Amino acid sequence: MMQLFNEINARKIHGERNVFEGIFNNLIFCSIVLGTFIIQIVIVQFGGKPFSCTELTVDQWLWSVFLGMGTLLWGQLVTTIPTSRLKFLKEAGHGTHKDEIPEEELAEDAEEIDHAERELRRGQILWFRGLNRIQTQVWS
């Protein structure tokens, strides 16, 4: 439910407050939100073992919706924070430049990257083999 209400929050950015303004003007958005809500109910109520779910009572559903609506309040709270207070976030994610890292650490990282790339390639090969087998079985 939090994700569902966060979709509504994400409609407005750049400090805009009213996330419900014009919500019914976009039929695609409304149908996606409604469809997601219905599918969540169906999966939870009737999904059983395949989805590792148990049915919820009406009270539990109401609590889920209530807690999910908390994301709307959180979005309003985040919107009240002036961006001038968040200047430190501009540098977040830029990390350390390559020339600032000692050569020993670069060598260790290269070894880890090579290992990760090998694992990725192995996974891709297995994926393609599986697809090949499925195609062979379907077309045979």
Name the domain count of the chain: 2
**How many CB atoms neighbour CB 11 within 10 A?**
16
Residue 90 in domain: no
Least confident of 16-20, 38-42, 84-88, 125-129: 84-88
Q: Give percent of the chain above pLDDT 90.
A: 36
**Residue at 88 is within a domain:** no
Per-residue pLDDT averaged across 25-31, rounded?
Answer: 92
* Residue 95: inside a domain: no
Q: Domain of 25?
A: 1-82
60 plus 22 within the same structural domain: yes
Tally of CB atoms within 10 A around 36: 14
Predicted TM-score (pTM) of this structure: 0.56
> Within a 10 A sphere around the Cβ of 91, how many other Cβ atoms?
8
Residues 115 and 76 in one domain: no
Classify residue 94: in a domain, yes or no: no
